[in-house]
Amino acid sequence: MTLEPRPISHAPTTRDGFRRPTTTMFGIGLAVLGVVAFVATAIGPIEDTGLDDEPPAPTGSDAVNVPAPDAAADGDERPRAARPKSIPTPIPILDCRDPRLDLDDDQREALAAVGFSRCAMPFGVLLAADDRMPASYLELAAAVLAEMLDQDQNGVPDDAALVDLLKNRDVAWLAMPTDRRDWERRQLPRLERVLGYDIVIPAWWLDVRPGGPDRRGRAVTVEEIHHFITQFGLSRLHPAVFGVDDWTSVIARETARAKCVFWQHPENDCPGRPAESPGDCSDPNCDVVEFFQQAVVLRAGMKPGWRGIGFPETAATLEPLLSPAFKAVLDDPAYHQLRRPLRFDYPVAPMERTSRRTPTTDLP
């Protein structure tokens, strides 16, 4: 399962110069995975989910965000970060028209007009959901976004400059639609007039279930938010390191180095190994973003939601394949990359509680 890869150079231009893909990449995850039934589990620590009962997928794409198998086999699992001594202020889920949210009037009106009434803005970064999206999925997305930006959970973003970029909703934002046809024909055309490029975490990728997010739901959520942070935050803040507009950055050179050796996106051809799915993910703004997410997640002690063709199944197998320069970037504390499994426990205040609060401007 994967984010809509952003073949930006091949698609119509949207607001602020970003280009919209003509195909939906997450469909590739479905094509590669097939129709796989996942056992529903409540939101919780990822150790609670195992894969022993999952059938292997054609490209090894059965992996989701659980501790990597080599961690158990080789004893090298990265320990989870210790629970914070102080609990940060819960991220509130609010009506998108709530004056506490830093939104322009035309943005509030557009969101309400298309049925996106629930918003969370962890550290000012916009996440909005269709009214039909179950609350537990929105709460999960808010918690994952907040934890990725505040990994020590002290209530302060790890990188204020990164958050300043991601807060610019005229450039990009996170959307959680529920009906593909409604989204593409009615909701998106209205919203893209007042908001920037949408990174979607949609119901048709999440495989929404009555019991709340399961392994698949968590995997999709982690991946899309990681892509959002990479493409619209890191790549702009540190273009020489995380740039995805060409093949010159550290992570782009690493992707090119891995291509057709231990990495092949299922939409791309390799010598003697043609693409397995329709589409084109050969541009860096797609291929690099996808490779980078899988490398970071696996190396941090989790399993990605799907694996590129030939991509290692374990962190122990991946590690010697990566260049020293790439590993140095991931290990540099200045870049705040994931190095341990997510906890999935950042506090979130559900809408039924936050909607009755006295308005205040003091939001996390």
The number of beta carbons lying within 10 Å of the beta carbon of residue 265 is 27
Residue 102 lies in a domain: yes
Write out the two tokens for 334.
């200045």
Identify whether 362 is part of a domain.
no
Of 161, 172, 224, nearest to 197 by C-alpha is 172
Q: What are phi and psi of 172, to 5 degrees?
A: -160, 160
User: Which residues constitute the domain of residue 221?
Assistant: 8-354
Bridge-based pairing state of the strands 348-349 and 197-200: unpaired
Residues 6+ apart with CB under 8 A from 24: 4
Per-residue model confidence (pLDDT) at position 363 = 52
Residue 86 lies in a domain: yes
DSSP conformational letter for 358: P
Residue 321's CB: how many other CB atoms inside 10 A? 16
Q: Specify if 1 maps to a domain.
A: no
* Amino acid at position 185, single letter: R
Residue 165 phi, psi (nearest 5): -70, -45
Rounded CA separation 205/27 (Å): 8
Q: The dihedral of CA 63, 64, 66, 67: what is its sign?
A: positive
Looking at residue 52, what is its pLDDT?
30
Distance (Å) of CA 299 to CA 43, 108, 149, 261: 22, 39, 18, 18
Q: How many domains does the chain have?
A: 1
- pLDDT at position 225 is 99
User: 323-331 contacts: CB < 8 A, separation 24 or more?
Assistant: 323/254, 323/257, 325/250, 325/253, 325/254, 326/250, 326/251, 326/254, 326/295, 329/241, 329/250, 329/251, 330/295, 330/296, 330/299
> Which pLDDT value is given to residue 352?
62
In a domain, 46, yes or no: yes
Q: Tell me how far CA of residue 12 lies from CA of 23, 245, 280, 303, in angstroms.
A: 11, 17, 15, 34
Q: Is residue 72 part of a domain?
A: yes
Q: Where are the beta strands (DSSP E) in the chain?
A: 91-92, 94-95, 118-120, 127-129, 172-176, 197-200, 348-349
How would you write the pLDDT of the chain (364 residues) with one tens digit per residue? 443 433 333 333 344 444 444 333 444 444 444 433 333 333 333 333 222 333 333 333 333 444 443 433 333 445 555 555 678 999 999 999 999 999 999 999 999 999 999 999 999 999 999 999 999 999 999 999 999 999 999 999 999 999 999 999 999 999 999 999 999 999 999 999 999 999 999 999 999 999 999 999 999 999 999 999 999 999 999 999 999 999 999 999 999 999 999 999 999 999 999 999 999 999 999 999 999 999 999 999 998 989 999 999 999 999 999 999 999 999 999 999 999 999 999 999 998 644 433 333 445 6
Kindly state whether residue 360 falls inside one of the protein's structural domains: no
Q: In whole angstroms, what is the distance from residue 247 CA to residue 270 CA?
A: 18
3-state secondary structure 69-109: HHHHHHCCCCCCCCCCCCCCCCEECEECCCCCCCCCHHHHH
Residues constituting the chain: 364
Non-local (6+) Cβ contacts of 184 within 8 A are none
Name which of 269, 267, 273, 272 is nearest 289 in CA terms: 267
- Looking at residue 303, what is its pLDDT? 87
CA angle 49, 53, 57 (to 5 degrees): 100
Q: What is the 3-state secondary structure (H, E, C) of 196-227?
A: CEEEECCHHHHCCCCCCCCHHHHHHHHHHHHH
Q: Using alpha carbons only, what angle is made at residue 340 by residues 63 and 319, rounded to the nearest 5 degrees?
A: 70
- Tell whether 65 is covered by a domain: yes
